[in-house]
Chain A
């Protein structure tokens, strides 16, 4: 199995590298035979990687301990789904998984563009993708081979890290990888646009869908990661500005900026160089994310894999940056904006400011994340900036983004009218001030959280009011009921209104973050079995504790009878575990969600002699808004992917110049 798997990886490396060379030759010589052969090289790579992936998953399911990777990731007690998830749980498997996912994206792209393969824009993009794929397959074959034979034969494997043994492991990494790898496609098209000298609007129009798909997956990955941290790590929070979390957030920020700025290029023929830069930066951030998670250069609570891949990724990142900058410099005379920005007080002006803020946020997060590496390079000492840096620097930028997110969609393209804008914002502003004021008084909020609540509710009201007003105008024009007018409006432009749904979702997320971070309450104390205590209006009776041993761990499970401030009761079972093979403690959180917040209980230890349990309790206000908002963002993303129903032929006849 070991030799077979390794041979497959080298074959995949050979076919992907061949595809790159053949596609470059075909583009330079204009020879269709080389192009066809290069495309087939890519298809063959997909096939070979699929066989390799099946071989590895089969070894994991069969617990074939002759492979080192299987011995490290699988233990006899693991169920089928965890054995499959072990494919991407460890360093070596995840590099193969990464390559395979990228190859599947390429296959989908080849299918989508099957009628236009000989367009140089597409064939240069294939070449660029082939090179990216060959890099990852090379890493998997040479440095990160999951088919490596075991150093010594064992009768049972160690198994997956206990922190990974939960339902999130089946979805969160898959979504993240689908996000990271997919961002290779906009990057490749940016390079192709330069190489084929086709920096018109064709590539941005084509690439929108291929950016939105990885963006949606990256969003899902980030939200699931937050939920996982919330339920499994037992510290009461969902985001700690950890390097691995930041690694997914940085490309998300720049991809979001890119999704906005390509609208400006499509509509106004502007920001052409900016868009190419953003596509490149986004992919670089995806690679930096891989570097952070895979190199072991930074310490993280999520770093489940470490290796010596750092120099290779650093080399790839610098090479891409230098090649992209060089190409952009060489082709700069061929890139002309079709229009100039007339005024910043227009939608394109607001989109541009929004892009600056997104980029500033991404660079701020990158600076804070990579500071330990930078400080070590210059001073020899690793200095970590930690949460205080992020919590003090990012909130003003987030508030500015929420402001822009509210105003940009309702302001007109080209030239906005301040009077009309005031009319659009009047009612939502009054409602937002009332909401912010009520929450501020009710929760005695300081300035930044108060601003956060007010701005986020402003976004929700403004967006809903905008849909209502334009829907009403449509209903009046067509003589149909208001509700139908609104529904028809939402169906005419999925892209635009999908974006609106995303904005409302982001506003709800902001409400959840402000509530659960600014007003979180925490209690850490030891209580004896049989005691009763109170916390934030909840009455808690520590009824009992059970102890036992499972194949992989020993546990203590407390029984708490919790009564909320309204008098409703529920039994909660927080659990403390000790994993033998990993010599590791974990906490199984017990949660009672309310619309106004979550009651969150953790058992952090149990003293058998004294019969005392060490509890950490949290009250996380409004945290549910975060998860609902996250669902809306994902839904909005998918909605924006749907094709829109437009009838432009009759409009063309109507608008024909006379």
Chain B
């Protein structure tokens, strides 16, 4: 008898919890969507980190000057493009 009682309580609580948003829709809050600019911002962060690592690796002698200059230039060009995309989307 007790297990049936406990299961009935669990079933009732489950049904209430799951179906309540459908029955009482006014209590459901619509939260904001994810920021569409988040991906662009994250890519800017990654590029900045890459620039930081690049400088450090160059200073550590892991990269010759020519390659360093070329890679840095392309990273900065990418950053500029991303920043303008970000500006355009705001």
Confirm or deny: A424 has a beta carbon within 8 angstroms of a beta carbon on chain B.
yes
* Known contacts A11-B14, A115-B31: A40-B49 contact under CB 8 Å: no
* Known contacts A413-B50, A473-B59: A205-B18 contact under CB 8 Å: no
Q: From the candidates B25, B42, B63, name the one contacting A412 in the complex (CB within 8 A).
A: B63
CB distance from B86 to the nearest CB of A (A): 11
CA distance A648 to B49 in the complex (A): 7
Is the pair A33, B22 in contact by a Cβ cutoff of 8 Å? Answer: yes
Q: From the candidates A1, A115, A119, A657, name the one contacting B76 in the complex (CB within 8 A).
A: A657
How many residue pairs at the A-B interface have CB separations less than 8 Å? Answer: 136
Contact count band on A: 35 or more
Q: Which residues of B contact A656 (CB under 8 A)?
A: 83
CA distance A374 to B80 in the complex (A): 55
Residue-wise interface mask of A (1-39) relative to B, using a CB-CB cutoff of 8 A (1 in contact, 0 not): 101100110010001001000000000000011101100
Confirm or deny: A227 has a beta carbon within 8 angstroms of a beta carbon on chain B.
no
Select from chain A the residue with minimum beta-carbon distance to B25.
A33
Is the pair B19, A37 in contact by a Cβ cutoff of 8 Å? Answer: yes
Stretch at the interface among A42-50, A130-138, A313-321, A533-541: A42-50
Is the pair A40, B21 in contact by a Cβ cutoff of 8 Å? Answer: yes
Q: Which residues of B contact A205 (CB under 8 A)?
A: 42
Q: Which residues of B contact A648 (CB under 8 A)?
A: 45, 48-49, 52
Select from chain A the residue with minimum beta-carbon distance to B59.
A473
Q: Which residues of B contact A43 (CB under 8 A)?
A: 17
Confirm or deny: A41 has a beta carbon within 8 angstroms of a beta carbon on chain B.
yes
Which residues from 521 to 549 on chain A have a C-beta closer than 8 Å to any C-beta of chain B? none
Confirm or deny: A117 has a beta carbon within 8 angstroms of a beta carbon on chain B.
yes
Q: Which residues of B contact A568 (CB under 8 A)?
A: none
Q: From the candidates B10, B21, B83, name the one contacting A51 in the complex (CB within 8 A).
A: B10
Is the pair A477, B59 in contact by a Cβ cutoff of 8 Å? Answer: yes
CA distance A266 to B22 in the complex (A): 39
Is the pair A33, B63 in contact by a Cβ cutoff of 8 Å? Answer: no
Q: Which residues of B contact A651 (CB under 8 A)?
A: 48, 51-52
Residue-wise interface mask of B (38-51) relative to A, using a CB-CB cutoff of 8 A (1 in contact, 0 not): 11001111101111
Q: Which residues of A contact B43 (CB under 8 A)?
A: 201, 269
Is the pair B74, A44 in contact by a Cβ cutoff of 8 Å? Answer: no
CB distance from A206 to the nearest CB of B (A): 10
Which residues from 62 to 81 on chain B have a C-beta closer than 8 Å to any C-beta of chain A? 62-64, 66-67, 70-71, 74, 76, 79-80
How many residues of chain B have a CB within 8 Å of chain A? 51
CA distance A469 to B48 in the complex (A): 21
Is the pair A48, B71 in contact by a Cβ cutoff of 8 Å? Answer: no
Q: From the candidates A4, A44, A412, A420, name the one contacting B18 in the complex (CB within 8 A).
A: A44
Which residues from 114 to 170 on chain A have a C-beta closer than 8 Å to any C-beta of chain B? 115-119, 121
* Known contacts A11-B11, A417-B63: A201-B42 contact under CB 8 Å: yes
Candidate in A4, A115, A474 with the most chain B CB atoms within 10 angstroms: A4
Is the pair A657, B7 in contact by a Cβ cutoff of 8 Å? Answer: no
Is the pair B21, A36 in contact by a Cβ cutoff of 8 Å? Answer: yes
CB distance from A17 to the nearest CB of B (A): 12
Q: Which residues of A contact B70 (CB under 8 A)?
A: 415
CB distance from A468 to the nearest CB of B (A): 9
Q: Which residues of B contact A269 (CB under 8 A)?
A: 43
Q: Which residues of A contact B59 (CB under 8 A)?
A: 473, 476-477
Is the pair B48, A414 in contact by a Cβ cutoff of 8 Å? Answer: no
Which 10 A-B residue pairs are closest in the complex by CB-CB distance? A36-B21, A473-B60, A4-B3, A119-B34, A657-B80, A473-B59, A648-B48, A417-B67, A469-B60, A37-B21
Can you show 30 pairs from A to B with CB atoms below 8 A apart? A3-B3, A4-B3, A4-B6, A8-B7, A11-B14, A15-B14, A33-B28, A37-B20, A37-B22, A41-B18, A48-B10, A51-B10, A117-B31, A118-B32, A118-B33, A119-B33, A201-B39, A201-B43, A415-B67, A423-B61, A423-B62, A469-B61, A470-B62, A472-B60, A476-B59, A493-B53, A648-B48, A655-B48, A655-B79, A657-B80
